[in-house]
Structure 1
């Protein structure tokens, strides 16, 4: 039973045979408008078969699997079946006392399913447990030997798993599995529980319905109170599976060999058979073609061939019948369940209650979302955020090629003579920028520079009511251990790019000023962060993401900085997490907002005659009201109010469209590179203070939106959600923020209100600048950083607000 290291190495002749078969593929026709009603659409199979034949590189993915997954084989003796050579993944944590975990897949899965979980599970942290992970390749799957005798059912699969763990030195362990993995780990618990299998977790909980004798109260509750809407949706999913998705089960449990001929002989047949499940059993998971083809190729190149894997259905139903679920009390070791609404059998949670059910987690989306699961095998308790993953921008070539094709087809409007900027972006500017974007601008060069300059990462953040979002961010630690943790938040039309110039300044160590550990959050729906998929994602949720990100990085106390929407987001962070976690905030977009919405800032506060102003209300801010009446406004304040009036009269149309019809606009932004360029370039010019934009600088800014993970339309939904959620508080509520606050005033900011209007008791720092506009970190990086250094530096009003993190060397 010695362990033998294993590397996948499919013989060349097998690959050649596959290519020949793919070249000879004959596909059926398809009914008009069939969609998915009849099974996998023909267009999908055509595309995947073509990619599999020409473009997909198995050797590349084979090498990746061998690099990422430490694989082994070992002979396991199964009672009555002799020795089986079993393939498995085994990765030990650096933590000696990590929890041994046996991961068991099902059909149409394989050892491949552990790939995304593995680095998360073995991660060592004082905040959550670490695991020694063993992912068994079930006999007859992947590169495990198939049993040659009849009757190899759940008890035998369980025996293999248990003996494998003991052979590896894990006399006690926990288990996790879904699909057949749920039933196999259940059988392990039955046969080897308490002594060896100490706890189990499943993401596909199954049980028997309420019974009038065994569970009369539960049955009565359903009869009296019915089912909740969520339970009814679950029953709809089960009914769909029974009516539309159960045919494979009948075939595989009755005539597996008959089916096996086609699976073994036809790559396209195997592809369609499994691809249907990958799509219909997941929750709109964005399958990449190569991801699908790697999944299918493991079956095609499997040791025993794909037909062997389906025999489990026949053997288990022969031994146990079709009622495979056990009553809740049948398992007497601690059990945990994760519920996903698009699993194929989402039963009511009430059905699973038992004294042994110690953990439950309900998710709003996904059945194949590894980060959500990775936080859960938690009868053993894992945190709500996944491990940090290094990230490099790497836009697929096909996306760049599509952009070039679209740019080559750009059709411009005409332009009035001497229009200048009065009507919007001048035609000459657009022709020049589009021409440069199409020929001369090198995205790969800019991509490389960004990857070199910015240490980027992704991490899944669980947002209450919205599930897990994969967040992209910049994280640069100062060389000084006691640097001040700072969360930088951008707005629209900004992105993580806005931290680029200030990052090296903030982390700089000097006896003359404080140093910062910098985290630049890519807001959900912007850049390379995943967009929320549900309605209602507003300031509270953006604030939650930022706060949880800082905690997950080990910054229990921190300060914040941001402009534009970040003014409101960081204010919300201060409101919801202030004093305990968020110790201070700074913004370069100060709005009063204490008693007025942003809309009122633009309407009630503003005036048509720039020489007159509507002062604050006496009942709400009597000192500011009286000072305005007595002393009037100085020159700078009058200029600021002129700027604000311009924005109200000439620059606010985008705001109304974004906050009322974002999807209508989104089609243009998503489909037209020139349209997106003009929409954002106008703001880059008009919102800055004569900043000398270089063409490539503009195009990089726009390209980040064009190539963004969710597309440019996703970024503008923040306006709609904000107005829907807080129509009377878009400017934030600085009066409700009680942490130390700092303001930097730049003369070409969009809304330039007199400082008396924005002053609240918690404002401990203010600085006025003679130049600069809306994008302070990009236009005036040194000035902005200097303000932060003064506010948080020795002698500043917010010095040492983060306990033990003064920003200076001891």
Structure 2
């Protein structure tokens, strides 16, 4: 099959749809003085969105791209994946014996990365070699067709690149790449090296530490390079964890929300470069190529799952799999690359060190990168003449031979009854956004492997648009949950208006209990346990239940200053109980509720908090030979934890490192928010039979929340972010509380440990094991959880009478 000339031509309808979406943009709030600590600053996104909406001219930039790039498409057959229509740029030099070079981009790049190096590489000169350059859009990127079946990994991308070069008549060629381009050109060197691929060059220099005491051999510069790598590991790699485990789930937000896509990529453009002076139109053109891409932006994420996903063994992963290639390798070191360290990469014949530059070398430092390629392949270079008869110079005399060488100062102090009442304008806006929804495609037979299946999202979105009645569910929530708001002063953070549910029992001496939810929960988690806990019974104690809406969740006000951490959430919970007259009380919580009630027990235990109970049982392995002491059930527990660590924790890595960046997509795209939360509702429960309206109500509380959904994920950054020492982190910090502790084990929680590992959690007086149930115990297994609390605090229980004169029974037992 022959190549077909290609011009970018985005339909007017797509431009009009984008304009409508931008005009309906919903942005998250931002903490005071946050800067880049939490992700992309709000001011940057507002400025870019304003320009995108009014002033940015796609047609002008489209014409420029078409004038600059000689573009084509060509069908390429890929073993096991059929034939894909591949978009590429083919820029030939005037020099007949120019060196064929395949340039391979990565994520979040595209063919546009080669824009500046093309004229430099193809220039005719007697002083340096010239190249015929082929730049292809990876399948699923830009205007290349995407694979429709799972399993399209590094080998397949390499196959496409190699076959494209052969189809163009380049049977012998060299390659250059960074990011995934490194992994793909490395694979080309491994599989096709020698016969076809003659040398490779990369600007993303991966590596492994040498044997022995690596630290003693490190120079000061080495340590600076490793500090950059450590920054990326702690602060910048959350996107990778999510994209390698649940790319489809993230894909809904990036496909549906142009603002979410903008923030997601813009963060990388800024953080991964070395102070590159991005112009707004430059950024918007880069993003627009993703937004208007043939397969949609979600398709570009799947390479992470296929190459470095949890199903891949360490030795099979994209950047390190297989033996080092034997063909000549050139390295260009740029100090602000994501990972910068020493190497065992292959047959290194050329190496260059630069004083500045980052991840997108071809775009950011085009002159330096091209100069390195000229030196490597030039007449005095170590890879001169690697492609026979292709010296790169105007005359064959240079052919040579291969030389492998804000709510302050309120006066309202008493509680105020509260009813949920979402304005009609917000409902109308939601409907418009849903009707403009754009969904990603799906690989054949993918199921849940890549994240939430589109069939589920389509069904839920269809119901959300037509059939789901928010006003009905709003009325139900108001009728069943006695809600209030109250100002709570928080040290260093002013006064916050806190939303809570207060369900009093008819039993006068009922036990005061504070229930604390986590993420992605809300006050709705307590919906089923409230009537059970507060009812009068001769068998079990009764409770006055207070359900705290965490600041930044539901209808509680969010903090406006950084540093609102677990101690501050605990302070709000304790002060709320005291303001209600409950000077002595007990607590229950899971997820972040575990960390918060633990902190309450540490700080306020004894005087105020008298006992605590959790259904998220954390643990630490004991000293010695762990395996020999583990039962089959212990191993089953750890298998669930291992699943979460490998497959389910990407959201956490992103939330704890760059929550603001993710927040743009969740705030702007109701479909993205739906998919992001729905995945957890399904995967974190034990086959719970979610009804569509049930899911939509749960998600709607986040969508309509007072502070917006972005505020809810900042707890990860504050509590376990990269700036926190291990000893200061939310779930493990400080010594265990001394007050009585009760544990309820549910086998499908996200972190499940052998029972013996939980011995250091505190003063354990009660423990219950359940055969089924997951993360949202109060919602999924309300009867079981309430029974455990009844047994713990009941007349024959180990914590009976911990709250003086509050037995929970009508008559003193």
Q: TM-score by structure 2 length?
A: 0.49
Q: Which has the higher contact order (CA 8 A, sep 6+)?
A: 2
Q: TM-score by structure 1 length?
A: 0.49
